Chains A and B, each alone.
Chain A
Amino acid sequence: MRFVDEFRDADKARALAAAIASLCEPGRHYKFMEVCGGHTHTIYKHGIDDYLPENVSLVHGPGCPVCVIPMGRVDDAIAIATQPDVIMTTFGDMMRVPGGQGSFFDAKAAGADIRMVYSPLDSLKIARQHPDKRVVFMAIGFETTAPSTAMTVLRAAAEGIENFSIFCNHVTIIPAIKAILDSPDLRLDGFIGPGHVSTVIGCRPYDFIARQHDKPLVCAGFEPLDILQSVHMILCQLAEGRAEVENQYSRVVPWDGNAKALQVIAEVMELRPYFEWRGLGFISQSALKVRDAYAPFDAERIFELPGVRVADPKACQCGEVLKGVIKPWECKVFGTACTPETPIGTCMVSSEGACAAYYNFGRFTRERVRTATRQ
């Protein structure tokens, strides 16, 4: 298929793999973090590890929108969904995220009207079709999805749709990366930068990573060749003693970002003083809320929320997984008590979650596979 096959060409992958291997210093171990859950998904789905030398390892980062939602916020959302005459809408990934009192799926089975949508505009459509209901969109995601949520609020305001609101859980990527860099447990050699977030915020916000932390960052696309090329670009920087922000995904990411999208976010939303991230705790200025001017569209002001902070289950090590401190399989409950069917932690829920990606795609040993394919 055009525009897909070009980026999955096995011959080009072999050539890149050879170039990558030739750049690696013998005896040195390289650890690169892919910040974005979309990259984690691509890496496992296409088996990119097969192309990397043994001394290059990819560490999964915090950029999975569903994974960072704390349990208390899920409970708040369910509290809204179970109010009379409410239709809660959300992306499919949210449905199985466990809160303290169960997930959206459980709430739906118990009678709440919770619907999956592909876009916030679909929620607005539902609001138009059901003027007698209060339609709430559970808004999640980084700067990637915030503009479409903001646009939807602007549209609702322009059309005077009064039965629509958003439960805003949008977060911002830079504070999360800062939290990773400040974490003492982790030594990284470079970053595969989040491609989709960068289409909105551009590449400049990452400058501090190169300047203050002396680490290379390459904004990467989501096809398997994009990832391999980005690894190659990071290794080139290291080999040449550079630490810079580079843009591998220039076909989509403008260096300065998308001014219009940023402006739409700024029009509708502002930074919260602090927000709780699952596993990472409270991070200041790391999330967005609806501005006063759009208060009628803010579910947090329309509905009374329990707002109770729910501690993560003791056994759950999502925080360490999100920070890249441990690999998914190193978590005590991985794959036994915590599975995609009955997730304890959020990382096991979303297809972008590191644990789900490893469980669904990577749960085998390469040695045994090599034996199997030789048989």
Chain B
Amino acid sequence: MSTREQDVLDRIERARKRPARLKEERITLAHGAGGKATHALIEAVFLDAFRNPLLEALEDQATFTVGDARLAFTTDSFVVSPLFFPGGDIGELAVNGTVNDLAMSGARPLHLSAGFILEEGFPVADLQRIVASMGAAAAAAGVHIVTGDTKVVERGKADGCYINTAGVGVLERPVELGAARALPGDALIVSGPVGDHGVTVMLARGELDITSDVESDTAPLHELAGVLLDAVPGVRLLRDATRGGVATILNEVAQASDVAVVVDEGAVPVRPAVTGACEILGIDPLYVACEGRFVTVVDGGQADAAVAALESHPLGEGAAVIGHVKEDPPGLVLLKTAFGGTRIVDVLVGDPLPRIC
């Protein structure tokens, strides 16, 4: 490595730290992919118009105090295609997704809203199936859907059914979590095998003529998060690995905490069927969405206790330490490949699997 190459790399890292600029004149699918284009859109359009201290944290939920209570508040929209897939459907996803966004702040989810955008001609039987599964998911998560809204648009103006949910939760533990809190020496843990949901939805579209018995991992994670937070005081961050997968979270940690994240590829739990599908599709499982897994960063000395706590809950089966936080080189996620080499894991550009949730 020459000095000149190092200079070029340093210049690139400086360029990467600059806020992304919105250059496009029209929305492209990349703006919904959760990567740099999404950030540029949020910064340039939404943040600019709505600016306030709670929003500026740009977390998956806002937390604030009302009287003596610390509350968490979030919203999420669901446009998954197909609506029904092995292991779940859009309704279950819409409940669990919002429950999980609340749970990742350490909150106990309380109440949800549900807004439906339905396409003219959509079968009522399908809607009933979706709503029944929302009811069951809400009951399983211990939340109530307490308010809602319905809109119908002309045929061809929506793809069957879109759902928006919002949720309120209460923070009962004195935790402070965030991507900027990671410290050198901390351990990175995933709560179970990654990539199940994304691969399931991809295969359920039937465009690939691949069959597999893999199912979506959609699940409410507030109990699992609670078990971890009760067992381990040194939790720095919880983040559900949805759009953009585990890799996107690791990059957020590296950038926000200005640390290096070193991941051991061989330690990342991936089911063989998911590995196989990813090999065929040329996708890295680290980028594939989960709907029932989170990534957590904990004090390195408490890593074993954290894994044990996660493993004690059925949804934490297969939890594993996948890497560690180091000082240098700051801002980068390095992967020690199973083959024995090293590479970086960058933020994904474009989405190999659009409309996964």
Interface residues of A (CB under 8 A from B): 1, 4, 8, 10, 13-14, 44-51, 92, 95-96, 105-106, 108-110, 118, 122, 224, 327, 329-330, 334-336, 339-342, 351, 359-369, 371-373, 375
Query: What CA separation (Å) do A211 and B36 show in the bound complex?
Result: 49
Give the contacting residue for A341; candidates B29, B37, B276, B326; CB below 8 A: B37
Query: What CA separation (Å) do A122 and B208 show in the bound complex?
Result: 9
Within 8 A of A (CB), among B16-50: 20, 23-24, 26-30, 35-37
Give the contacting residue for B6; candidates A92, A108, A365; CB below 8 A: A365
Chain A residues near B342 (CB-CB < 8 A): 47, 50, 364, 366, 369, 373
Query: What CA separation (Å) do A207 and B342 show in the bound complex?
Result: 35
Query: What CA separation (Å) do A109 and B23 show in the bound complex?
Result: 14
Whether B149 sits at the interface, judged by CB under 8 Å, is no
Minimum C-beta distance from B181 to chain A (A) = 19
Give the contacting residue for A363; candidates B337, B338, B344; CB below 8 A: B344
Give the contacting residue for B339; candidates A13, A339, A359, A373; CB below 8 A: A13
Within 8 A of A (CB), among B171-206: 184
Is there contact, CB below 8 Å, between A364 and B334?
yes
Is there contact, CB below 8 Å, between A336 and B338?
no
Is there contact, CB below 8 Å, between A122 and B207?
yes
Is there contact, CB below 8 Å, between A10 and B344?
no
Tell me whether chain A's interface is mostly helix, strand or loop, or mixed. helix
Query: What CA separation (Å) do A340 and B342 show in the bound complex?
Result: 20
Minimum C-beta distance from B311 to chain A (A) = 24
Is there contact, CB below 8 Å, between B9 and A364?
yes
Which 4 residue pairs are nearest across A and B when measured between Cβ atoms?
Answer: A47-B341, A335-B12, A10-B340, A361-B343
Whether B1 sits at the interface, judged by CB under 8 Å, is yes
Given A13-B339, A361-B344, A373-B262, A108 contacting B332 (CB threshold 8 A): no
Is there contact, CB below 8 Å, between A51 and B28?
no
Query: What CA separation (Å) do A13 and B328 show in the bound complex?
Result: 27
Is there contact, CB below 8 Å, between B5 and A329?
yes
Is there contact, CB below 8 Å, between A373 and B336?
yes
Chain A residues near B262 (CB-CB < 8 A): 372-373
- Which of B20, B35, B342, B352 has the most chain A CB atoms closer than 10 A to its own CB? B342
Chain B residues near A13 (CB-CB < 8 A): 339-340
Whether B11 sits at the interface, judged by CB under 8 Å, is yes
Is there contact, CB below 8 Å, between A1 and B344?
no
- Which of B1, B6, B184, B339 has the most chain A CB atoms closer than 10 A to its own CB? B339
Minimum C-beta distance from A148 to chain B (A) = 15
Give the contacting residue for A95; candidates B15, B260, B329, B350; CB below 8 A: B350
Q: What 20 additional pairs, Cβ within 8 angstroms, besides A109-B24, A110-B26?
A: A4-B275, A8-B339, A13-B339, A44-B343, A48-B341, A96-B350, A106-B26, A109-B27, A109-B28, A118-B207, A224-B341, A329-B9, A334-B12, A341-B30, A341-B36, A363-B9, A365-B5, A366-B1, A366-B342, A373-B326
Report B315-336 CB contacts with A as 1/0, cut-off 8 Å.
0000000000011110010101
Query: What CA separation (Å) do A110 and B27 show in the bound complex?
Result: 9
Query: What CA separation (Å) do A46 and B79 show in the bound complex?
Result: 35
Query: What CA separation (Å) do A57 and B207 show in the bound complex?
Result: 41
Query: What CA separation (Å) do A148 and B275 show in the bound complex?
Result: 26
Whether B56 sits at the interface, judged by CB under 8 Å, is no
Whether B272 sits at the interface, judged by CB under 8 Å, is yes
Whether B349 sits at the interface, judged by CB under 8 Å, is yes
Chain B residues near A371 (CB-CB < 8 A): 328
Minimum C-beta distance from A290 to chain B (A) = 26
Q: What residue of chain B has the Cβ atom nearest to residue A52's Cβ?
A: B341
Q: What residue of chain A has the Cβ atom nearest to residue B350's Cβ?
A: A96
Report B147-190 CB contacts with A as 1/0, cut-off 8 Å.
00000000000000000000000000000000000001000000
Q: What residue of chain B has the Cβ atom nearest to residue A4's Cβ?
A: B279
